[in-house]
Amino acid sequence: MKNIIPASEYRRLKLLNLLFFAESPIPKKEAANFVECSINTLNADIETLNTTIPDDIAHVDEIDRKLTLRAATRINFDYLTAFMISTSHLFQLALSAFNEENQTISEWAEKNFVSRSTFYVKLAEVDTFLSRNGLILNTTPLEIQGNEINVRVFYYHLFSKCYPYSGWVIDDFGLETPINTFIQKFEKSLNIFFSLSARTEYAIAIAVTLKRIKQGHPIRVSDENMQFWHDVYTYHNVTEMDFSDLEDALGEPLSQEERYLLIIISALSYFTYVNHEQMTLRLSYTEKYQRIRLHLVEELLTILDERISDTLV
């Protein structure tokens, strides 16, 4: 989380996390120490949270210098996190850049009802935050620049965290068709299974990839990395993977580099192996390419061996 939002917003999320899971009221001094700020900054953060979050979602209460979070019963912390990010200037700015709206600072500020002076303060914070991730905020027009894989990973994580509140924001490519159709083929090919949340995360990563390709932002891969990606692709026997659903939606063939990346980014989500054969394949892959992890994997398989049964017949 710390790598996809600026420091002030991360601090407020830490406070919400502390209060959301607390079993009793938290003294303000303890809360300030936890989020690493002064009491004055904590008071300002509480005011910001209570102004931003509607009362029917959540509200920070203070009684006798102790804090509690009053949250609606239907609200979980993932939703609260998604709300905070989705309603932030960072998200609106990133979405504008992602959609290549080519807005100037003045145009963006006017559209989002933000004064230019306030916006420049926000820009400075966002620029500092992005620089920690090897990215640059260009302001003429507003655009997030950097290594293409880093740019995509930033968008993957941002849109995934926002999804419980914002919903699907990548209109060019549908969640069910073509993306979920491709994921179902991918699961069948590798004998794996994605949970609903993991499937959504992978779908967002795929959609970001397709959108960036469509906008003319291909990835550039060194020969060394290309060979490694090829080894992964070949070893997992996905050389015959059907990408036609994605290519039809994109309107052009996928390059070999982009095909490799679409397979590799599945690791950004959790999935379950549905039979022993695939687990054995993963172990042999680890032995050949990632020997440093082999001992740990072998120990885990020994522990789990008697508890695992094939879930796909």
Give residue 60's Cα distance to chain centre: 27
Integer Cα distance of 155 and 144 in angstroms: 10
DSSP line for 78-93:
HHHHHHHHHTSHHHHH
Q: What is the pLDDT of residue 274?
A: 67
CB 271, CB 193: distance < 8 Å: yes
pLDDT of residue 118: 77
For the record, the structure tokens of 185 come out as 């083929």
Is domain 7-75 classified as CATH 3.40.30.10?
A: no
Longest CA–CA separation in the chain, Å: 65
pLDDT for the residue 275: 65
Question: Is there a common fold for 7-75 and 88-159?
Answer: yes
Other C-beta atoms lying within 10 Å of the C-beta of residue 261: 22
At 84 the pLDDT is 93
CB atoms within 10 A of CB 234: 10
Q: Determine the pLDDT at residue 278.
A: 63
Q: State the 10-residue block means of pLDDT for the chain, 313 residues long.
A: 78 96 97 97 97 96 97 94 91 93 87 80 81 87 93 95 96 91 91 92 97 96 84 73 94 94 88 68 62 66 63 46
Place of tokens 């003319």: 216
- Phi, psi for residue 27 in degrees, rounded to 5: -55, 140
- Is the domain covering 88-159 a CATH 1.10.10 domain? yes
Helices (H), the chain: 7-20, 28-35, 39-52, 77-86, 89-98, 105-111, 116-132, 148-166, 179-190, 196-214, 223-235, 244-250, 256-264, 276-289, 291-304
Whether residue 253 has a cis bond before it, omega within 30° of 0: no
Q: What are phi and psi of 6, to 5 degrees?
A: -65, 165
Taking the domains of the chain in order of start, what are their residue ranges? Answer: 7-75, 88-159, 179-273, 276-307
Give the dihedral sign, CA 249/253/257/259: positive
Amino acid at 239: T
